[in-house]
Chains A and B, each alone.
Chain A
């Protein structure tokens, strides 16, 4: 074979020609056709309740005669990047899920239809108005949370009872203070067993900061990184110390395994852990060797919980805003809400539907507590760049979790950076 080496010159010529040929290719077709009548498209991420969404949408189709074109569910993490292409893609869906972190950014950037007027037509008594208010911003209201998945402490009832501990069954702060929970965790920790696990659900950041008397991760106006205030730092350090100082919580390293905390719990080696109502389904299916139940968040200055909101929005550019709104109205309504409530998925926005949650208790667990928890909702104050802020501070917090630095060092080191992107 006759061969010579490719020369640098030919490589550079190649790259140059590559660029030039691009100019020739710069042609594009027109936008594709618009949506056909009597259809509305719908996008969601996979959140373990796909069956319920199908049930709700099927019922809507039967009742309205409108076909709901369902886009493929994508994994949660991927959806957080994908929604941008969905929104900017020219043909956004009629109704789509949006992570609560992005509601303000997308509303401010005028990507969402302003439904404020239509939403104000809904009866205030029928819905949890304070939950609905989450999407109402100065720049408009692009959608609604169809429900909230409250966060509580799941606990191994068998294990705690053996140690003589009975967590409260309703949302009262007495005898369920931070120190009580720590004491309970210390009581059951030993051998392969850990007493508690709080930090695998990132919702702990805001919940504990608020319960420690602060405004949460961000200030109410969304321009200040208040997690780095003393109340925030102290709260996070308390959670970190459960591992580093008291050794009642598994190490961060241990938890890097997929769902390591869940598996520790189902194996009967974890006393209490912090999670959303969505996990109750998993518990029912997978916990077989012991009894479990739910308890309220431990109290300090406050006793709040950050429920995870399932927000759905109507994109401004969608082919049919009216149909999107009609579907959203269905999803927050009693009938659809009942589907989710009866399965114990989350607390629907509709009050009457929410009451059905209690009936889902199949193993004697205290499902009424979730409905009660909805009344103690706190939400992360929104900012115009929450996702970016989180990407800045959370890596630093991780360093504190593994003991490289203190929480104070972690949070103060990024405070200026975070406030630059949200300010």
Chain B
């Protein structure tokens, strides 16, 4: 596994409509087209082989495993849908789904708003200062989660940096990682801190593609900065926002690294997210069949959610 964070880089969104080739088909033309087709397939062949061998095949094996009881050692036995029907009664699973949804609800708005704020701020200013800030905000994204989780464990200690800072403004900080509510908040903070760089860059690229003339025209009309932001920036940024949203949903449902190295699902099961529970079942409990079934259930859920988001995009995404 390349780690959940890396497993999804982009979910797409667009396909070019090809201009339909002319209906006239002289023999010469046909030969050319066949050659072009061969060339095209040759160019995509490595990718096709890769997807078939390393993604499609494992996907099918996983589906097969989900109908079996399998510990990885003894011969798998066919149990039909039992793995799937067992899920609703599994309290720990239900809990992990709940935790994952809470994580998603917390992290997505935070990530998107913060990424937007940072992108807007970085979009201004001279080249050097813009580069400086952009780099500073992006650095968490390039650091290894192993090192960073250790640092944050210290920060979230009851008398750690975070509570000391909160103390300065008169807030009596919670016992973060030992508090059933705030442990999840801590996980969200670390995940957002580390993950916000990528959406920031996407949004920044969108901002830079907005034609300057639009702002100049607005200046002439005497539009206030908030009005400019709401009437020009935001609508023209909706394609990137949509992209960010859809990728963030997929990433949030797969949150794992931070939990794995920082909280191990605790305290209690307060940060036991879905993928962590699947991972435990597969690699600690030796229940590969059940784990595969859960992984597939999540897959189907993400497909459904993505389809819904694709349908909803018509209502709010503005394509220039």
Contacts and interface: CB of A to CB of B under 8 A. Distances in A.
Interface of A: 2-8, 10-12, 15, 18-26, 77, 80-82, 84-85, 87-88, 105, 109-111, 251-258, 260, 385, 387-388, 391-392, 395-396, 398-399, 401-402, 404, 417
Interface string B155-182: 0111110000000000000011111100
Contacts of A6: 12-15, 310
B24 interface: no
A387 to B, nearest CB: 5
A296 B13 CA distance: 66
B37 interface: no
Interface stretch (B120-128, B133-141, B194-202, B262-270): B262-270
Given A258-B154, A398-B266, A15 B303 contact: yes
Contacts of B286: 84, 105
Contacts of B264: 77
Given A3-B16, A254-B158, A26 B57 contact: yes
Interface stretch (B48-56, B225-233, B249-257): B48-56
B15 A10 contact: yes
Nearest to B299: A15
Given A3-B14, A253-B178, A388 B57 contact: no
A2 B158 contact: no
B265 A395 contact: yes
Contacts of A110: 73
A398 B268 contact: yes
Nearest to B303: A15
A85 B71 CA distance: 11
Interface stretch (B79-87, B111-119, B277-285): B277-285
B319 interface: yes
B57 A22 contact: yes
B13 A5 contact: yes
Contact of B59 (A22, A77, A81): A22
Nearest to A89: B72
Contacts of B303: 11, 15
Contacts of A256: 153, 156-157, 176-178
Contacts, number: 144
B158 A22 contact: no
B247 interface: no
Given A25-B52, A109-B74, A5 B14 contact: yes
Is the contact region of chain A dominated by helix, strand, or loop, or is it mixed? Answer: helix
A388 B284 contact: yes
B307 interface: yes
A120 to B, nearest CB: 26
Contacts of B285: 385, 387-388, 391
Contacts of A251: 158, 175, 178
Given A3-B319, A21-B48, 5 more contacts: A6-B12, A18-B51, A25-B56, A260-B157, A388-B285
B311 interface: yes
Contact of B60 (A4, A26, A399): A26
Contact of B306 (A11, A25, A257, A404): A11
12 contacts: A6-B13, A11-B307, A23-B56, A26-B57, A81-B284, A251-B178, A254-B158, A257-B154, A258-B154, A395-B266, A398-B266, A402-B180
A3 B13 CA distance: 10
A105 B180 CA distance: 32
Contacts of A253: 157-158, 175-179
A48 B209 CA distance: 54
Contact of A396 (B265, B268, B283, B310): B268
A88 B266 contact: no
Contacts of B160: 257
A402 B267 CA distance: 9
The 5 closest A-B CB pairs, nearest first, are A22-B56, A253-B178, A253-B175, A81-B283, A25-B52
A42 to B, nearest CB: 21
Interface centre among A82, A252, A253, A402 (most CB of B within 10 A): A253
Interface string B266-306: 11110010000001100111100000000000000001001
A256 B158 CA distance: 9
Contacts of A20: 56
B207 to A, nearest CB: 17
